[in-house]
Structure 1
Amino acid sequence: MKSFTIAAILAATASLVSAAPANPTGGNPCDVMRCASGTICQVSGDGESGRCVPEAEQRCGADVVCGHGSRCCNPVMGICVSPPNMFCIMSGGIVADDESADAATPPPIQLDQDIEQQGSSSSSNGTSCGPNVCRGDETCCNPGCGYCTKPGQGCTKEFCAPGSGPQCGKKAFCPFGWECCNESCGTCVRPGGVCTMQFCIE
């Protein structure tokens, strides 16, 4: 009876192992692969499997090659990640309709070292603060952005380029009506747009 129980357990275990999916995590297939030194796991174009390739040859999408120490986590969108920042968006892609021009990320407005913020000046209707006018009980704390505060309130010291949208990272501004989705890379998107969360180094 004892040998029958062990045989039954082994048979049940073997059937479970053979029925396991190729990618048990349901996410990135490279999460369950180990590659030899000098190689890195590359996700297939369909995202269903991975294979070990030499680090120098790792392509990520049509026109992206991941750098040394990073790996391709989303070949559809061409996203590379590096430890310890391994967060990756596993969906998304190129819009294939007439709105594709609207879905493209615009080039951010680059800061110019020569641009100076406007100062504030007093007028009979309040204090002029960049594009705004502060009320009598307010002070202009950031004239470049037109921010007014009451005494004791905090104020951001960000730089706002004239006629631009929000600042995105240290050197970029988004176009008016767009929002910053990745300050590290200075990436701007339309509200509700898809954003990659990769880390960029200057």
Structure 2
Amino acid sequence: MPLTHDLPAAWTRTDVAEGLGLGTLIAEPCGFTLEANETVAGAQERFSCRFTVHTDLAWVTRNARVETLSPEGAHVVELSGSGGRWTVNGNHAPELDGCVDVDVAATPLTNTLPIRRLGLGPGEFRDIAVARVEVPSLRVCRVAQRYTRLHSSTGPQRYECRGNRFGTHEITVDREGMVLDYEGLAKRLR
């Protein structure tokens, strides 16, 4: 399915008092690039996050760079995956080996990776392991997730995403797999 987005998508965060994100998908000859940023200005936390994820043509993550700016300063983490083996900041991270996707916690955009890669039909589900980057700490950990494509007779595709660390949420996506609504996290503005 070709990408047709001309402009970045914008999301408002629904889990914090003030939060806004902007992100896009870019088709390239050897894969896809996801570019996005998020800014949160809540009573308890304030940070900005910028990230880039590169995938191959099958939507398998090759590398990711995540940058944050918070009261603790500016920080960067870089992940690289090849043949199921992962490094974090150039060091082998065996706890991530076997992960295929990167999930940047501050954004709904990285949900596009497994949605596009898995190609689920209505009622189908897959259990996957992802390298999750917590924001703003940039702590990287392995997380089990289950994506289930829900039956939808009309309108956008809907998925249930269940994770061992964050519960179950319904995700509604456009025809390219970009999130329109992520229950409890973000809602697409444009």
Q: TM-score range by the shorter chain?
A: under 0.3
Which has the larger helix fraction?
A: 1
Larger radius of gyration: 1
TM-score by length of 2: 0.22
Which structure would you say has the larger RCO, counting Cα contacts within 8 Å and 6 or more residues apart?
Answer: 2
Give the TM-score normalised by structure 1: 0.21
